[in-house]
Structure 1
Amino acid sequence: MGDSPYGRILIPVDGTEDALRVIRPAGELARVMEASVDFLYVSPFDESTDEGDASWLPASIVRPAAEEAQEIFTVAESLLPQEVARACHHRAGIPAEEILRFIDVMGIRLVAISGHKHSRVSGLLLGSVMQTVLERAHACVLVVGND
């Protein structure tokens, strides 16, 4: 990694075209800055929501979340320049809250996130993840707009 204070770039992914559209420009930025990329996928639940060895969630619910995460990471990684180091993280919970927690815990200084076509008011009414991250993150937020 270079001397940039932005040695790691967080890219939240959910498999949507909007989220995947962020990867190429953020990946190019990471390449130029010699930064690594952290992909973060947040599902409503997975194995980590269970306590102890006995799972109360049926495998038909838990297993697809992990499989979906892996499929999303595979696509996301394919869009990143090969020379950019990357790590994939799967968390369970409310997306905006988990993204904000990840930023704080991991010391992330730059987040690249998709900007949806909402007005500020509709974003607030819809509870937009992007809007929440933009307003509450203790990091710089790069919003990648739609074409």
Structure 2
Amino acid sequence: MDQPDTKSCIQYKQILVPIDGSENSCRAIAAAVDMAELSQATISILYILTFSQQTPLQKQIHGDKVPHEVRSNPVAFAKSMLKDAGKLIPKHIPRHTYYEIGEPGIAITDFAQRNHYDVIVIGSRGLNFLSGIWQGSVSKYVTANAQCSVLIIK
């Protein structure tokens, strides 16, 4: 099978993939891997520590609390999420992992701008209509406010 002509493709060198542990964030990592292999890019995985994000919205509405492992050691929880996500990237692709604390949309766009990323590959959360109105969409915020290209994966 012939190799694709990468000269005609956009060449991204720094790819940022924010994760939240969802199926769509795993799909975003897979898409970033494909992009990285075409352009020999580095992938950075970013996890944003936000306590309200750790518990699904439905459980928050019903009064469930933040999981114990998040409350007792949030940094260890973030590192665990990043380690699991890193396993989805083949060893030959350079990667970095980071965590930040804050509101996800703002933290992602600020991190991407500070570190000069070429593209953000982010999973769509797929919230239902009511949840989307109440909570908003991180991917929508990132798309509207990022200074670089954004690819949303469903």
How many aligned residue pairs are there? 130
1:20 corresponding residue in structure 2: 26
SS of equivalent residue, structure 1 residue 116: coil
5+ long unaligned stretches in structure 1: 46-59
Specify which of 99, 109, 121 is matched with residue 90 of structure 1: 99
CA distance in 1, matches of 2:130, 2:41: 34
Q: In 2, Cα distance between the equivalents of 1:77 and 1:32? A: 19
| 1:1-147 mapped onto 2 (5 Å cutoff) | 6-44=12-50, 64-117=73-126, 123=132, 125-145=134-154
Query: Whole-Å Cα distance in 2 between the matches of residues 18 and 72 of structure 1?
Result: 14
Percent identity between the aligned chains? 26
Partner Cα separation in structure 2 for residue 133 and residue 14 of structure 1: 14
> Given the two structures, how large is their TM-score scaled by the length of structure 2?
0.73
User: Unpaired runs of 5+ in structure 2?
Assistant: 1-5, 52-68
Amino acid at match of 2:46: L
The CA RMSD over aligned residues, in Å, is 2.6
Are the counterparts in 1 of residues 70 and 77 from structure 2 also a CA contact under 8 Å? Answer: no
Report the Cα distance in structure 2 between the residues aligned to 1:125 and 1:31, rounded to whole angstroms: 38
Q: Is the Cα contact below 8 Å between 1:11 and 1:38 reproduced in 2? A: yes
